[in-house]
Amino acid sequence: MKKTTLLAVLLALPLCGCAQEPETPKGTEPVNQPKTLVAFFSATGTTKGVAERLAGAIGAVLYEIAPETPYGMADLDWRDKQSRSSVEMADRASRPAIAGPAPDLAGVDVVFVGFPIWWYREPSIIDTFVENNADALAGKTLVPFATSGGSGMGDSSANLQALAPAAKVAEGRRFRGSASADELAAWARGFR
Ligand SMILES: Cc1cc2nc3c(=O)[nH]c(=O)nc-3n(C[C@H](O)[C@H](O)[C@H](O)COP(=O)(O)O)c2cc1C
């Protein structure tokens, strides 16, 4: 082989190596990512903050469960047996109406549902939400989370499972109102 021909072959070698590398697709979204929704009800803003941080941390769609009739401060007085919240929570069949359209759950795999603990369990409007969407929740994972003055989740998970029998309802967890995005994301990873 001539010196010039050998030089040409050697120069071409690394280029050949590069050409055999598998092509990396550019600008393509990862497939098979579970689609996640964070639904929440919040009367005084604490659970709303946690829900927003959670949704932001895991890239989920946020959906507010807004009461058709908002709760005023007198409605929330748990010391008053006649207050709206006391009356609703004393009646297990109470289903306060929700404003606006139901969330679009098509293609959603995991639904986190957040609420304040009222009388050691989920507020009645959460029962409305789960019952109204029971069919759409079939086969999906429903993960309750809450804020409270200190109480845990109580029977919330079992209550929601009874309202949406075909959903897979996880045990869920109570968070401090100041729970960080990192703490929430680490917990949420277990369900996705
Ligand atoms: C009607 C009512 C009942 C409550 N019951 C409890 C309870 O049983 N245990 C508890 O720790 N906190 C209880 N709380 C406190 C709330 O769970 C707590 O303040 C929560 O973080 C409020 O969330 P929000 O701001 O998203 O509405 C109750 C609050 C209200 C208004």
| The model's pTM | 0.86
Q: Is 14 a member of any domain?
A: no
Q: Is 25 a member of any domain?
A: no
**Band of the pLDDT at 17, cuts 50, 70, 90?**
very low
Q: Is 157 a member of any domain?
A: yes
Mean pLDDT in residue range 77-85:
98
Q: What are phi and psi of 108, to 5 degrees?
A: -85, 135
Q: Verify whether ligand 1 is closer than 6 Å to residue 119 (CB atom).
A: yes
Q: Is 27 a member of any domain?
A: no
Give the strand pairing for 173-174 and 168-169.
Answer: unpaired
- For the domain that residue 155 is a member of, what is the CATH number? 3.40.50.360
Q: Is 111 a member of any domain?
A: yes
Q: Verify whether ligand 1 is closer than 6 Å to residue 124 (CB atom).
A: no
**pLDDT averaged over the chain?**
89
Q: Residues 144-186: pLDDT tens digits?
A: 999 999 999 999 999 999 999 999 999 999 999 999 999 999 9
| 133 has pLDDT over 80 | yes
At residue 79, the pLDDT reads: 98
| 5 has pLDDT over 80 | no
User: Domain span at residue 50?
Assistant: 32-191
Q: Is 23 a member of any domain?
A: no
Q: Verify whether ligand 1 is closer than 6 Å to residue 156 (CB atom).
A: no
The two three-digit tokens of residue 96, written as one number:
């306060």
At residue 22, the pLDDT reads: 43
Q: Is 24 a member of any domain?
A: no
Q: Is 19 a member of any domain?
A: no
CA angle 125, 128, 132 (to 5 degrees): 150
Q: Residues 18-56: pLDDT tens digits?
A: 444 444 445 454 555 569 999 999 999 999 999 999 999
Ligand 1 pocket test, candidate residues 76, 88, 117, most atoms within 8 A of CB = 117
Q: Percent helix, strand and coil across the chain, each rounded to 5?
A: 35, 20, 45
Cβ within 8 Å of residue 185, ≥6 positions away: 54, 57, 58
> Structurally, how many domains does the chain consist of?
1
